[in-house]
Amino acid sequence: MPNIVAIIRYALCALFLLHAGSARGASESAIAASEWVDTEYASVRLISATDSVGDADIDHPLTLGLEFQLQEGWKIYWRSPGDAGYPPQPNWSTSSNIWSIDMRWPAPVRFSVLGFETLGYKHEVVFPLTVTPLQPGQAVQLGVQLDYLICSEVCVPESVSLSLDIPAGDGTPSTFVHLINKYTVQVPGDGKASGLTIDTLELVQQPDQNPQLLITASSLNGMTFDDPDVYLEGPLDDPGTLGFGKPLAQVDPSGTTATLQVELVGTKDTQGNAAALLDKEFTVTLIAGARSVERTIQVSPNTSPILSKRVTAQLSIVMILLFAFAGGLILNLMPCVLPVLSIKLLGVISHGGGQSKDVRISFIASAAGIVASFMLIAVALAALKASGIAIGWGIQFQQPIFLITMAVIITVFACNLWGWFEFSTPGAVAKIGTQTSGITGHFMTGMLATLLATPCSAPFLGTAVGFALSRGTPEIMGIFLVLGLGLAAPYLVVAAAPRLATMLPKPGNWMITLRRFLGLALAGTVLWLLSVLLVQLDTLITVLIGAGLTAAGASLYLWHRGALTGKQAMAVVMISWIGAIGLSHMPTDVSTDSASSAVDDLWQPFDLAAIDTHVANGKTVFVDVTAEWCVSCLVNKAFVLSRGTVLERLSSDAIIPMQADWTLPKDSITRYLTSFQRYGIPFNAVYGPGAPDGIVLPEILTPGAVLDALDAAQD
């Protein structure tokens, strides 16, 4: 019984203490906050970080907050609202014992609606207030008449009166100190805490374009940029004369440098008055995820050829998607895809005299394999970009493991074409190969076509990929989806009109000879992959990998002859693959510098810093970014750059040909490409007295295009 009494006593004490704490908290809250003033779409009040004045003075001011609670879908505006609206406007004239009140502005959110750009807040926001008492230690009374605009589909001006008395006392922290601090840390500062710096603000003017302001910023301490945005206010001596478009942001492959270009849309003659902005001061606020920085900086002229080249007309997303589809479609005709045409051709012929249903299913499966591969590539690129790793179109060909895996797969496909084996996937779902009625084989054919297509850069493809990789994950996923649909379009056409395949002659003995011939085309692809490995690895290692592939092919042949079982043959294939990957990790003397040493007598190694010097001396510089795995690059060199009048011009004393070898990863080349918003090769540019910023040539070169660019650069 006593134990029960004791338990009851302790419970009553705990309940009393809890009630006392709650009463104290409620009392404290009543002291440290004004009453809520409710309007139709928002509630507003004043809150204080302390329940009394304490020893607040000019060196240690009071911290308060102006708190808004907004209904769903409604917003209020930042101090610089953008194209419309006005910010909260407090009038503190009814306050007493106040020397000064400074209202601070947490980083806002951008709202883009029908081309209009506004900045503000939704849901909740607290504006930190720094209040300096006139007479330290004495009670402070705040009174404010607050006018603000709140908007959703319509905008409603509101006006409320708030008051809060803060008595004299020891300055004990209130329950609102954490809420106020939550928004205080969101106020953009000098960047020391956030690890951000705003480096330059430059004016760029180009013919027939509105002027642009170009902002460069850096992320320090190993942190990378997360979806950067920038808000501009100025010129500070003449505010309200300019408007600013939504910035086009680009982050370098390391993730630590961002460039943002903002179009000026002034209420005055922007083009005519732009030069007057030089040396004017602007307030620049940069937002990068949860981090921010603010700086007042003067406008300087843009002199960097790399940066000025970044300022290009912003294409609509619809146009980019059209470019993506056209680029994917043209990719079917590029030399990188030619080796897999044998599989496509055999797939069509095998349906001669067949059923329309079978044709439709098989070609839809191949199209699905293409689209799935593009989506996998998009996911991988988005993940690499988010982690701050350099990204680009076809960069997987810089990795020996990828090249080895592709060589093994294509070796198996070639042996299948030669009739050395036929085998089924687990569960006998489908046969793997090119002449199969199963969905899996056709799906794999589509995937192989995509993987072999990635080292090529077709017309329109570079623009679409460059746009995607300079943006966020949604743009990357959407554009790569359309790229895949473009490459898959011929398959979809056949699926829609199966008679294109069924009207062909029926398969017969003649197909055996055709299969063997097309298998040789795939064997040639394996030799090409080995030639790329030869640049990346030691000669001995490459020879051993080639021997392993030969052993894999021989094991499949012996299976065909009955000397080995299927399991034994596949074991040899797997051992060859794993052994080759192991060999690729062995120490090697090959480096990115030695890859560049392959430049022949005509070409000089790429040196970006030397281009300006050559141009200043009246020379023309032709830059060729290439790689051993880029078949389109080799075609450009063989059929355009290494023959005829083009070769004569490049060999003249007036022209400096520079070659950048991207066979192996090299950050300097990646940064150079991304400065032009390009993420793939071939890439060629011409610099000269008439084109100090560089003239970018199309991916597929013609003698006329090269000669015209050389002439224009020399003028």
The reported pLDDT for the residue numbered 165 is 94
Which among 264-273, 393-402, 587-596 has the top mean pLDDT? Answer: 393-402
Distance, in Å, from the CA atom of 139 to the CA atom of 133, rounded to the nearest integer, reads 9
Mean pLDDT within 286-312: 73
**Share of residues in the chain with pLDDT > 90 (%):** 29
The dihedral of CA 28, 34, 37, 42: what is its sign? negative
The reported pLDDT for the residue numbered 13 is 44
116 — pLDDT class (breaks 50, 70, 90): confident
Identify the DSSP state of 436: -
Q: Using the predicted structure, report yes or no on whether residue 418 has a pLDDT greater than 90.
A: no
Q: Using the predicted structure, report yes or no on whether residue 615 has a pLDDT greater than 70.
A: yes
Mean pLDDT within 380-408: 72
Contact 226, 289 (CB under 8 A): yes
Choice between 706 and 2, residue whose per-residue pLDDT is larger: 706
Give me 581's structure tokens. Answer: 């990957």
3 — pLDDT class (breaks 50, 70, 90): very low
624 — pLDDT class (breaks 50, 70, 90): very high
What's the chain's average pLDDT? 79
The reported pLDDT for the residue numbered 29 is 44
Low-confidence winner among 169-173, 255-259, 597-601 (lowest mean pLDDT):
597-601
Enclosing H/E stretch for 584: helix 566-584
The reported pLDDT for the residue numbered 17 is 40
Give me 296's structure tokens. Answer: 């007042």
319 — pLDDT class (breaks 50, 70, 90): confident
Q: Using the predicted structure, report yes or no on whether residue 271 has a pLDDT greater than 60.
A: no
Whole-structure pTM value: 0.46
423 — pLDDT class (breaks 50, 70, 90): very low
388 — pLDDT class (breaks 50, 70, 90): low
Burial pattern 474-485, b for ≥16 Cβ within 10 A else e, equals ebbbbbbbbbbb
Distance, in Å, from the CA atom of 694 to the CA atom of 307, rounded to the nearest integer, reads 11
Token look-up 């490049």 returns 650
The model's pLDDT over 513-525, given as tens digits with 9 standing for 90+, comes to: 767 777 787 788 7
Mean pLDDT within 83-87: 88
Cβ neighbours, 10 Å, residue 4: 8
The reported pLDDT for the residue numbered 527 is 85
SS (H, E, C) 408-422: HHHHHHHHHHCCCCC
Give me 33's structure tokens. Answer: 């906050």
Nearest to 204 by CA among 256, 277, 280: 277
Distance, in Å, from the CA atom of 290 to the CA atom of 372, rounded to the nearest integer, reads 34
Burial, 86: exposed, middle or buried (Cβ in 10 Å; 0-12, 13-18, 19+)? Answer: middle
541 — pLDDT class (breaks 50, 70, 90): confident
Choice between 542 and 472, residue whose per-residue pLDDT is larger: 542
Distance, in Å, from the CA atom of 351 to the CA atom of 355, rounded to the nearest integer, reads 8
Distance, in Å, from the CA atom of 294 to the CA atom of 283, rounded to the nearest integer, reads 7
The model's pLDDT over 162-190, given as tens digits with 9 standing for 90+, comes to: 999 999 999 899 999 999 999 998 999 99
DSSP 439-455: HHHHHHHHHHHHHHHTT
| 658 Cβ contact list (under 8 Å, min separation 6) | 603, 604, 605, 606, 607, 611, 621, 622, 623, 624
Mean pLDDT within 535-556: 86
The reported pLDDT for the residue numbered 140 is 95
702 — pLDDT class (breaks 50, 70, 90): confident
Contact 435, 677 (CB under 8 A): no
Low-confidence winner among 405-409, 534-538, 653-657 (lowest mean pLDDT):
534-538
Contacts of 575-580 spanning 24+ positions with Cβ under 8 A: 576/408, 576/548, 576/549, 576/551, 576/552, 577/404, 577/405, 577/408, 577/548, 577/552, 579/548, 580/404, 580/407, 580/408, 580/544, 580/545, 580/548, 580/549
Enclosing H/E stretch for 647: helix 644-650
**Alpha helices, H only, 260-399:** 270-273, 305-310, 317-330, 338-349, 356-386
The dihedral of CA 494, 500, 502, 507: what is its sign? negative
Contact 395, 665 (CB under 8 A): yes
